[in-house]
Amino acid sequence: MASNAAPNPPCVICAYPASKCCGGCKQVSYCSTEHQKQAWPKHKKLCKIYQSSNPPPADTYCGLCGNIGPLTTTECCRRTICDDEQDYQMFTYSNVSCNRNHCRYTLCSFHHNEDHGDGKWQDCEKCKNNFMEVESYIGQGTSSFNFKDDVWENPPPFEPTRCKKCNRAIKMSTEPHMYGPNGLECGRC
Ligand SMILES: [Zn+2]
Ligand SMILES: [Zn+2]
Ligand SMILES: [Zn+2]
Ligand SMILES: [Zn+2]
Ligand SMILES: [Zn+2]
Ligand SMILES: [Zn+2]
């Protein structure tokens, strides 16, 4: 690829530059087959909708997984989403609940909850300054917990975040990590 081409879009799972897109709808990007597989259960129905020449109205299905109910509306952006908070089991940190994922792990909800004003979260300095690692910030704005209409065209680039101890790159969105006395450490250290 030419060096002056647009940077690769971020992977919707980990925010690293993507090298492939969904072969079905060609509208979702992934860094690896692994993350494509990880995304598939929640993408499967949306993929069909994206490919449809006559898609159903946006308020009739969850914008994160394509399920048709039970549904509710997000507080931050008033979009239709699974009414599935009860599917989440405390302290499992699982990603099953669309509603919980959007309301806790996106800039859309953060920007709304913190009352950052009428501007777009994609351009919000206050959102950006809240994150210690640019990678986490980009991750919350580009992950599949976001609605497709909010695709962030040109998110700022970031350097992979590295473990202070072993210098391994840590994919912040998908790998265990913690802040030790010397800074960020990976789950293996
Ligand atoms: Zn990825
Ligand atoms: Zn697809
Ligand atoms: Zn859903
Ligand atoms: Zn929202
Ligand atoms: Zn904001
Ligand atoms: Zn390490």
Residue 11 falls inside a structural domain: no
154 and 183 fall within a common domain: no
Taking the centre of ligand 6 as the mean of its atom positions, its distance from the CA of residue 181, in whole angstroms, is: 14
176 and 105 fall within a common domain: no
Q: Are 131 and 97 in contact (CB under 8 A)?
A: no
Taking the centre of ligand 3 as the mean of its atom positions, its distance from the CA of residue 98, in whole angstroms, is: 5
- Give the chain's mean pLDDT: 92
121 and 42 fall within a common domain: yes
31 and 78 fall within a common domain: yes
176 and 112 fall within a common domain: no
Q: What is the pLDDT of residue 8?
A: 85
41 and 66 fall within a common domain: yes
Q: Where in the sequence is the domain holding 45, given as residue range(s)? A: 20-158
109 and 126 fall within a common domain: yes
DSSP letters, 131-164, are -SSHHHHHHHHHSTTS-GGG--SSPPP-PPEE-T
Using alpha carbons only, what angle is made at residue 161 by residues 168 and 109, rounded to the nearest 5 degrees? 140
Ligand minimally distant from the alpha carbon of residue 52: 2
178 and 139 fall within a common domain: no
Number of folded domains that form the chain: 2
Q: What is the pLDDT of residue 153?
A: 85
Cα 134 to Cα 137: distance, rounded to the nearest angstrom: 5
Taking the centre of ligand 3 as the mean of its atom positions, its distance from the CA of residue 39, in whole angstroms, is: 12
Q: For 101-158, how does the pLDDT look when each residue is reduced to its tens digit (9 = 90+)?
A: 999 999 999 999 999 999 999 999 999 999 989 999 999 999 999 999 999 988 999 9
Whether the predicted pLDDT of 5 surpasses 70: no
Taking the centre of ligand 4 as the mean of its atom positions, its distance from the CA of residue 145, in whole angstroms, is: 9
Whether the predicted pLDDT of 3 surpasses 90: no
Taking the centre of ligand 3 as the mean of its atom positions, its distance from the CA of residue 113, in whole angstroms, is: 21
Ligand minimally distant from the alpha carbon of residue 104: 4
Whether the predicted pLDDT of 94 surpasses 80: no
